[in-house]
Amino acid sequence: MNREGTTAPNAAGRGPLAGLRVLEIASMAPGPFACTVLADLGAEVLRVDRASDVDPDTRGSRDPLARGRRSIAVDLKHPDGAALVRRLTAGADVLVEGFRPGVAERLGIGPEDCRAVNPALVYGRMTGWGQSGPLAPRAGHDITYLAVSGALGLIGPPGRPPVPPVNLVGDFGGGGMLLALGILAALYERERSGLGQVVDAAMVDGAALLTTALHGLRATGDWQGDRGENLLDGGAPFYTTYETADGGHMAVGPIEERFYAQLLTGLGLSDDPDLPAQYDRERWPELRQRLAAAFKERTRDEWTALFEPTDACVAPVLSPWEAHLHPHNAARSVFTETAGVRQPAPAPRFDRTPGAIQGPPPLVGQDTRTALAHWGVDAPETDRLLAATVVVQHPHTGENR
């Protein structure tokens, strides 16, 4: 165990994916998130960082998206660097990269280059626009992929511009999580065929996929209004947030009549004959005003204490930095601490083979020697690559992490 109470990176036998080997070409946001999910579930993840990113003055990393893997630093633009990656794929089950289409091929580590070495390799590609289509070669960010997918147009108040939901829907929900699922599906199919395949995970695809249910609601006529005017987008006064007396907020979501009745009871409005009916859309603005006035009468903590014992579907709106303090999250250990950083714990949970954070984030290149040896590269070859600066070893190995 290390000082943070987690096991050393890639500890054997931890999690349902123990024994799975993943080669991660360093990228940003969605690719690392997918690899973090796989590492938390027991996969051995080796991250290939840029040799130029090794910083001798850096002595620690605090990035939760880098937890639980080892790091080697490689110059991928050097022919021997690309050759090393191809060699490493011989011992890998999965490779993950996040380049624009065509870049991996130009470097000599594209799908065909790697599958020539290992036909069973699952090659995961994480992009915003995908490997095909007119926008495939273009730059973008979470917000642009959400815009084109239709997801962004759903989010925000009526009569106001759409509001980007941080980068949770594109980068992580529609991106990294979809890639992780695709990789596991390809591995499952490999059990029958013996062959790997390319997983083309695009954030625009994933963000669109997340709107599937809303397309159904639109088809049945249950989603008729513009943004912020529908049941689940803040349009309904019983599915939104309200400010409290201390400037906090409560989330309210009792869609069902029996739960809504408990909301009214808690607010002291259950016996008000003039209160608009729950689903009287024409009087929703009036109902919203009444509920808002009621919530302003007490603090967030007071409302939380009142509603938590009920089924009114009311909860305090917590920041990510205080969520660990909620009794439910504390009881389930939803958050943990690694390398001095509080962060979400691995999920989902397994009763026989639980996942675990396999170690704190590595320094770029801190494991170059040891990881190459572990992956079958002998010491003389590693020494040659180091001398030619094809690979770089960080001077601080992190042995006391």
Residue 356 contacts residue 387 (beta carbons within 8 Å) = no
Question: Exactly one of 141, 249, 326, 396 is catalytic; which is it?
Answer: 141
Residue 39 contacts residue 69 (beta carbons within 8 Å) = yes
In what helix (H) or strand (E) does residue 113 lie, and over which residues does it extend? Answer: helix 111-115
**Has 141 been annotated as catalytic?**
yes
Closest CA to 31 of 45, 52, 10: 45
Question: Exactly one of 75, 171, 205, 367 is catalytic; which is it?
Answer: 171
Residue 307 contacts residue 266 (beta carbons within 8 Å) = yes
Per-residue confidence in pLDDT tens, the chain, 401 aa: 232 334 445 444 589 999 999 999 999 999 999 999 999 999 999 999 999 999 999 888 899 999 999 999 999 999 999 999 999 999 999 999 999 999 999 999 999 999 999 999 999 999 999 999 999 999 999 999 999 999 999 999 999 999 999 999 999 999 999 999 999 999 999 999 999 999 999 999 999 999 999 999 999 999 988 999 999 999 999 999 999 999 999 999 999 999 999 999 999 999 999 999 999 999 999 999 999 999 999 999 999 999 999 999 999 999 999 999 999 999 999 999 999 999 999 999 999 999 999 999 999 999 999 999 999 999 999 999 999 999 999 998 754 33
For tokens 């006391």, name the residue: 400
